[in-house]
Amino acid sequence: MPVAFVGHGSPMVVLDEAKGAELRAWGASIPGPRAILVVSAHWEQAPATIGPTRAVPLIYDFYGFPPELYRVRYPAPAAPELARRVAALVPDVRIDEDRGLDHGTWTPLRWLFPDARIPVLQLSIPSHDPRALHRLGHDLAPLRDEGVFLLGSGNVVHNLRRIARRPDEPTPSWAAEFDQWLVESLARRDVDSLLDWERRAPAATLAHPTVEHFVPLLVSLGAATDDLSRLHYPISGFEHSSISRRSLSWGQDRRT
């Protein structure tokens, strides 16, 4: 299976047919996973924790949005078998039997796999240490050979304090430069720079005043170690001027 990172953006994406069409087209190109494991920016918990092994309601972890957003459902089955495999691969992992999927997970999956038939499991972000997260991804990589789609969910650039208030505002230079730095670093397969991103990337503190939306990418990078040359970008661009929608997929030849 490929391993990927999705720029999930605003929860409103789940109601946006145009943006949803891009995600749907990407999902249609992914060979049917047996299960899906998601590391979302919206679950930070140490030690590493996996979500429930039974179906529980979604989490609507946002406020002030239109009522129809809170009526969205994504009734994917739980993934108890995957939970057991993750527990075997990740030392001392815990289980939270009450935490539903957050919007960093169900928003993109609602378009990527709209029939909601594939079992889904979430794994928390247990640390902000880039090397530890990269190792975590490497430890999870065997799941790819077992038909599991590994998905990091966040944003390459994410600073809610700097989003545009008007739809015609251009992307600021600092956001474009950080986004391009990532592309160039990945093209060089410069893992050391990516793991030292807070020091080496341009405008890192502007692009990420807090790091939780970037670090799921490092888990995906770790799981993609043997496929770094097989990378493509199924989605790119920005929303609200400075929130990057760039999404990455390793280990799958691009389909047109």
Checking if the pLDDT of 150 tops 60, the result is yes
Percent pLDDT > 90 in the chain is 94
| Residue in this structure with the two tokens 């998601």, named with its chain if needed | 38
Q: Mean pLDDT over residues 70-93, rounded?
A: 97
User: What distance in Å separates the CA atoms of residue 99 and residue 59, rounded to the nearest whole number?
Assistant: 8
Q: What's the confidence (pLDDT) of residue 66?
A: 96
Residue type, 27: G
Selected residue with higher pLDDT from 255 and 157: 157
Q: Is 163 exposed, middle or buried (CB count within 10 Å of its CB: 0-12, 13-18, 19+)?
A: middle
Q: Are strands 231-235 and 247-250 parallel, antiparallel or unpaired?
A: antiparallel
Q: What's the confidence (pLDDT) of residue 254?
A: 56
Q: Map residue 180 onto helix, strand or coil.
A: helix
> At 165, is the pLDDT very low, low, confident or very high (cuts 50, 70, 90)?
confident
Q: Mean pLDDT over residues 17-21, rounded?
A: 96
One DSSP character per residue, 121-154 reads EEEEE----HHHHHHHHHHHGGGGGGTEEEEEEE
Q: What's the confidence (pLDDT) of residue 253?
A: 63
Q: Mean pLDDT over residues 147-155, rounded?
A: 98
> At 256, is the pLDDT very low, low, confident or very high (cuts 50, 70, 90)?
very low
User: What distance in Å separates the CA atoms of residue 75 and residue 118, rounded to the nearest whole number?
Assistant: 10
Alpha-carbon distances, residue 236 vs 116, 140, 248, 249 (angstroms): 25, 26, 9, 12
Residue type, 237: G
User: What distance in Å separates the CA atoms of residue 120 and residue 61, rounded to the nearest whole number?
Assistant: 18
Q: Is the pTM of this model over 0.85?
A: yes
Instruction: Give the model confidence (pLDDT) of 90-130 as tens digits.
Output: 989 999 999 999 999 999 999 999 999 999 999 999 999 99
User: What distance in Å separates the CA atoms of residue 9 and residue 104, rounded to the nearest whole number?
Assistant: 8
Checking if the pLDDT of 226 tops 90, the result is no
CATH code of the domain made up of 3-250: 3.40.830.10
Checking if the pLDDT of 255 tops 60, the result is no
Q: Map residue 199 onto helix, strand or coil.
A: helix
Question: For residues 36 and 121, is the Cβ–Cβ distance under 8 A?
Answer: yes
Domains in the chain: boundaries? 3-250
Question: For residues 162 and 233, is the Cβ–Cβ distance under 8 A?
Answer: no
Checking if the pLDDT of 252 tops 90, the result is no
Q: Mean pLDDT over residues 50-78, rounded?
A: 96
